[in-house]
Structure 1
Amino acid sequence: MTIAVSTIIRPSRILTALVSAVAIMVASIGLAILAGRIGTLGLTPRVLTGFGALFLAFFGFYHGVRIRKILQLDIAGAGQIRLSEQREKRTCSDSDWPHVGKDMQVMQLMPGSTIWPCMLLLRLRAEDHAVRVVPILPDSVSRESFRALAVAVRWLAWQSDSQESSYL
């Protein structure tokens, strides 16, 4: 069995909708605090709390929208993970795999990655020790790619667990 997987990860519309909904709720709470509808705070704490909630709502929405990028994720048969940001839309095919370019980063799967049947949250560490979290929801990739990614990531996690326990 080979775990080689190559896929394009598009930004999730579900995740964007959830981030937008939370930002709207926090902003509406901030506005209600500013208007004096919630709580019995004095003027200064009410204004500070209300504007703080509005700031957090806009910051959270901005951060959620800013990270929306198309990613290329390649997992080689030996377990090496490569990740790059795609500027233009392209499809994966076996004839041009692996898509190794100068912008591909070799990554390592870190402990704490979440592997659920409905979502993958991959914590990846680059060679320069920068950590990147890649959310993969079912609407980000095709159904077959999601299943192949889930199997490959589970295999990588199992391999890293067995190697760590052999050193103890």
Structure 2
Amino acid sequence: MTREEREVREELAGRVRAFGRSLHVRHVDAGSCGACESEVQALQNPFYDLHRVGLFFTPSPRHADLLLVTGPVTRAMERPLKMAYEAMPDPKVVIAACSPACGGGIYGRSYATLGGVDAVLPVDVYVPGSPPHPLSLLHGILLALGRIEQKIGREEHVAGRVS
């Protein structure tokens, strides 16, 4: 493991600990070519060892803290993607991971695709690349943790719990 990889992993572990509980990610393939999924799956192997730092992939959006979407949004996946987003508890954070998810990529808008994820859902973090390196995905998750913390702070302030 390189020094950079160790630093990212340690930063992620510290941020998850500061979050106060484990972080659960729901991954949705909205119509990708499959290359991005192989990189997302690489995050779950022993080399990155994300379970040790408190990061888990969950099959249910009801238990997810953030939604990781890969691929351009196909017309067939628009409704299931919205349903997964609506089933998530607040605060909702969305990561668009890969160039097609960020802006449609080479697919763009067509008879079969709606373009990037932001055409359907509000996106908090963009992770470009086709496919993005697992370290880029980890960096995106770190940024998403910061967005969750911001949203939690804003909700507490709005509710009058923060002076």
TM-score after normalising by structure 1: 0.24
Which structure's CA Rg is the greater one? 1
Greater fraction of residues in strand: 1
TM-score after normalising by structure 2: 0.25
